[in-house]
Amino acid sequence: MKSFIASTVFIALPALPLTADPVRSGRAQVDWVSKTVGYKLGEPVITAFKMILDEGWHTYWINPGEAGMPLSVDIELPEGWTSDPPEYPLPVRFMTGDLHDFGYEGTVLFPIVLRPQTDASGDVEIEASFDWLTCDDSACIPGDASLAITLISNDSTPTDAAAEITETLETLPAPAPEAWKLHVSGSGDSLEIALIHPPDFPPGGIDVFPLSVNVAHPGASYDWQTENGSLTATVPKSPFAPDPLEEFELVIDSPSLEQPIIVTWNKDS
């Protein structure tokens, strides 16, 4: 994956000290928030890295497209605690110069699940380092923040951030039900994609985002055709696509779906 845009201005910023308050860096205000004020044994703690991007600036999805980089998170967990990787909401498409990218504008939350030690006790302070990239049409500025979150023992009282975290969780892409199937084959510079969907699914209005990095070209237009009960499309490969293809994942969004879904193809399946 290419990390930055070669033709834009790149400005480095110094790292910021640890804080529990919102931080401005990389043309965004950021904060680490929790759905609850504390934790209870046996229950996950839902937190989120919150970004409020300056107008005209964007940051990147897990597949950033032709340029950019996704969010990087390094959490210093108490002994016995674990964490899941950050989750990425459905992105939007935008251009950075002449490059096709996926990411976010405005306000975005990246949920991060923390899991307490089975016999954890007492209040805990957890520290984490976050790194990201913000860009507009002429420059890219990296951002970083060292943030801390304090969790009170045996307390699941909702915080002020609970509602917006819940709203984000309800719209995250989720694994597709078994009725959905994806078949992919490569021919020259193209990918032949067949999407099998439930019989009662109305195919109109589908939008797709390639979750797999460097397989389909980020600027590809998916012109779906109905064929033998499935949807088919031919799209250009990324110039960095592996040969042979091993796996491909698409995020599918549609007004007919309760939330976006992830369909997966694997050459061995």
Q: What's the CATH number where 262 sits?
A: 2.60.40
Last residue of a domain, one of 127, 144, 170: 170
Amino acid at 260: P
pLDDT of 214 strictly over 80? yes
- The beta strand positions in 116-260, using DSSP E, are 124-135, 139-153, 174-175, 181-187, 190-196, 207-210, 225-227, 230-236, 247-253
Domain for residue 1, yes or no? no
Domain that holds residue 162: 9-170
Mean pLDDT of 122-128: 96
Q: Higher model confidence: residue 201 or residue 18?
A: 201
Are 139 and 120 within one domain? yes
Task: Name the domain boundary from 170, 190, 213.
Answer: 170
- Encode pLDDT of 220-257 as tens digits: 999 999 988 799 999 999 999 999 999 999 999 999 99
Question: Is a pLDDT exceeding 60 seen at residue 8?
Answer: no
Same domain for 88 and 164, yes or no, is yes
pLDDT band of 5, cuts 50, 70, 90: very low
The answer to whether residue 3 sits within a structural domain is: no
Q: Is 134 in the same domain as 192?
A: no
Last residue of a domain, one of 116, 142, 170: 170
Question: Model-level pTM?
Answer: 0.90
Mean pLDDT is lowest, of 4-13, 65-74, 179-188, 193-202, for 4-13
pLDDT of residue 20: 63
Q: What is the pLDDT of residues 148-207, one digit of tens each?
A: 999 999 999 999 999 999 999 999 999 999 999 999 998 789 999 999 999 999 888 899
| Predicted pLDDT of residue 158 | 97
CA distances from residue 108 to 19, 58, 143, 186, 250 in whole angstroms, order as listed: 20, 10, 15, 35, 21
Interatomic CA distance for residues 200 and 258, integer angstroms: 14
Are residues 163 and 248 part of one domain? no
Query: What mean pLDDT is predicted for residues 117-140?
Result: 94
Q: Percent of the chain at pLDDT above 70? A: 93
Domain total of the chain: 2
Domain assignment present for residue 163? The answer is: yes
Residue 112 lies in a domain: yes
- Do 109 and 210 share a structural domain? no
* Residue 184 belongs to some domain of the structure: yes
pLDDT at 15 (0 to 100): 41
Cα R_g (the chain), whole angstroms:
20
